[in-house]
Amino acid sequence: MRIGLTGGIGSGKSTVAGFLREAGAAIVDTDAISRALTLPGGAAMPAITEQFGAEFVTADGALDRDRMRALAFSDTAAKRRLEAILHPLITAEALAQAEAARAPLVVFDVPLLVESGRWRPRVARVLVIDCTVDTQRARVLQRPGWTPARVDGALAAQATREARRAAADAVILNEELPLAALRNEVMSLAARWGCETMTPP
Ligand code: ADP
């Protein structure tokens, strides 16, 4: 079975992905795929260089992320052009990884699954990791380099809690939940979705 895993920043999505991997699922990390595509020699670099110019490429041949982030933030058309290059490559690589996976459950970890809409037809279920915005803020502010303004910017660029929940087949409320309890919830979901039941730690 193929499922989509999503959640707002700081929801605990990556933590849940780790537990799902532990349960025996194969995780297809679309963020990691996107990053790999824009490293030196990455499959997206020729098209990016052609469309945006060499000034968006670092000396070693990677995407200049800061520069591209600034452009995409202020210029929606540029953002779309970048997505038109990246999205088909991300999808192709994610599907190739899913094909190659030898696991009862394949999990597509997609931060913007609800926002983009192109993943829903490819998965049997959508699992949303949910928590309050206050908790998201508190968790993300623990990360080095994150200010309240940067967190608010990230939150504003993502779907609301309500929109995400409305798109979900299953929701894990990761709020005031000890990590061990979160792990148990994930393990029982994984078992329900085809992974062998794991013995408790
Ligand atoms: P996301 O991938 O959704 O941005 P993470 O899984 O990285 O979120 O979680 C954000 C932070 O919150 C991490 O430091 C993680 O360890 C912590 N965290 C998540 N869920 C819990 C929980 N139930 N209890 C304690 N800490 C948690």
Residue 59 has pLDDT above 70, yes or no: yes
Helix 45-52 to helix 76-100 angle (10° resolution) is 170
Architecture of domain 1-25+104-196: 3-Layer(aba) Sandwich (3.40)
**Burial class of residue 125, CB neighbours in 10 A (0-12, 13-18, 19+):** middle
Q: Whose CA is nearest to atom 9 of ligand 1?
A: 12
For the Cβ of 182 lying below 6 angstroms from any atom of ligand 1, the answer is yes
**What contacts 59, CB < 8 A, 6 or more positions away?**
none
Q: What is the DSSP letter of 92?
A: H
Ligand 1 centroid from CA 68, angstroms: 28
Q: How far is CA 36 from the centre of its chain?
A: 14
Show me where the domains of the chain are located.
Answer: 1-25+104-196, 31-102
| Residue range 164-197, pLDDT digits in tens | 999 999 999 999 999 999 999 999 999 999 998 6
Alpha-carbon distance of 31 to 34, in angstroms, equals: 5
| Residue range 4-18, pLDDT digits in tens | 999 999 999 999 999
